[in-house]
């Protein structure tokens, strides 16, 4: 089967992923920390033909099969990849469309180490043609050159740098449990405040308490919230969804979006929904939890990826198998009791 041409960068929705979230490189990272860069490079070269196992971003790029399949069967299996499933449907409806998902691997490894990464990409048959290897330098400066709509990394420092550059970004963590996800529909879940929206309302809550927060939202319910760091990514998803809607595929669209927020529907949900409407954005499902834990709801949704600004919700979702990402933005940034946010802030090879 002939590979389709990769999407054009200026038209594609580009997901930039670091090597340490696409693949499991925990062992190699420990070698780098404990034995230094030269031993790290030597180890990578010696294991060049040994592919990495999947990391937390893997299901976002490619849905895993329950059983091992030969290469020919995997290539012919429809909808075996999350992003590729969307691309395949788009190509059916719009043969000449260049508005497709594209994945770029970003790594600050040297090119010698990159050979193992390329071998791993080929082993898992991932649709990744663009790789940025920066040889020890930060890849953040290249994100805009690659027209990145979203950057996923295991390094919170790099994620913050990307956010400061105005690029949607989030930190991903290796987790023990990962739930099975849909093979025919890409599902993306967002928190509201400090993710899709600004942290304006959270600041009121932190400074003046819950009652003042409710009063503020009621008096400002017709004033749209300012945008948060991931609004642009939701816009990009919505742009693709509309292409399916225009062809009569609203009910079986292969992209589904979710707002999963701690807001109460009656007390503060109106402003959130009116804000989305003012932006011209649709959200498929809105779940207002009134402060309840998000993990059980996300376990039911089974999104490929979930974004939240509070580590409490990220950890709770991850414990139940959801691939949850932390967006280090806004007033609610706190180090958890486990120290998750700061456990790996040393220079990293991604």
Active-site residue identified among 70, 102, 155, 191: 191
Is 191 marked active-site? Answer: yes
Beta bridge partners of 306: 189, 324
Contact 165, 144 (CB under 8 A): yes
- State the Cα–Cα distance between residues 41 and 215, nearest whole angstrom: 57
Beta bridge partners of 17: 105, 152
Surface-to-core class of residue 304, CB atoms within 10 Å of its CB (0-12 exposed, 13-18 middle, 19+ buried): buried
Contact 335, 342 (CB under 8 A): yes
Contact 69, 56 (CB under 8 A): no
Beta bridge partners of 305: 188
14: three-class secondary structure by DSSP: strand
E strands in 210-323 = 255-261, 285-288, 305-308
What is the separation of C-alpha 169 from the centre of its chain, rounded to a whole number of angstroms? 8
- Catalytic residue set: 191
């Amino acid at each position: 089967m002939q590979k389709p041409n990769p999407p054009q960068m200026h038209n594609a929705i580009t997901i930039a992923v670091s090597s340490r979230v696409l693949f499991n490189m925990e062992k190699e990272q420990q070698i780098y920390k404990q034995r230094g860069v030269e031993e790290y490079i030597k180890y990578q070269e010696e294991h060049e033909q040994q592919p990495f196992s999947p990391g937390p971003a893997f299901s976002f790029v490619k849905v895993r099969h329950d059983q091992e399949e030969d290469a020919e069967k995997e290539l012919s299996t429809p909808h075996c990849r999350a992003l590729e499933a969307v691309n395949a449907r788009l190509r059916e409806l719009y043969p000449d469309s260049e508005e497709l998902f594209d994945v770029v691997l970003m790594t600050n490894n040297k090119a010698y180490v990159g050979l193992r990464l390329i071998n791993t990409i080929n082993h898992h048959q991932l649709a990744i043609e663009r790789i940025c290897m920066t040889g020890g330098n930060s890849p953040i400066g290249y994100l805009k050159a690659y027209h990145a709509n979203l950057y996923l990394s295991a390094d919170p420092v790099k994620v913050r740098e990307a956010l400061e550059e105005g690029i949607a970004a989030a930190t991903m963590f290796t987790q023990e449990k990962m739930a099975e996800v849909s093979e025919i529909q890409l599902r993306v879940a967002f928190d509201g405040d400090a993710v899709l929206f600004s942290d304006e309302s959270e600041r009121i809550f932190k400074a003046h308490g819950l009652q003042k927060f409710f009063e503020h939202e009621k008096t400002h319910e017709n004033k749209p919230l300012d945008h948060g760091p991931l609004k642009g990514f939701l816009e990009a998803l919505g742009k693709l969804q509309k292409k399916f809607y225009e062809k009569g595929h609203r009910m079986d669209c292969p992209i589904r979006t979710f707002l999963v927020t701690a807001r109460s529907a009656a007390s503060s949900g109106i402003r959130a929904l009116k804000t989305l409407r003012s932006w011209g954005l649709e959200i498929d499902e809105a779940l207002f939890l009134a402060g309840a834990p998000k993990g059980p709801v996300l376990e039911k949704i089974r999104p490929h990826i979930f974004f939240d600004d509070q580590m409490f919700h990220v950890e709770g979702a991850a414990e139940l198998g959801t691939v949850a990402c932390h967006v280090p933005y806004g007033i609610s940034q706190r180090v958890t009791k486990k120290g998750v946010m700061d456990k790996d802030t040393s220079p990293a090879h991604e």
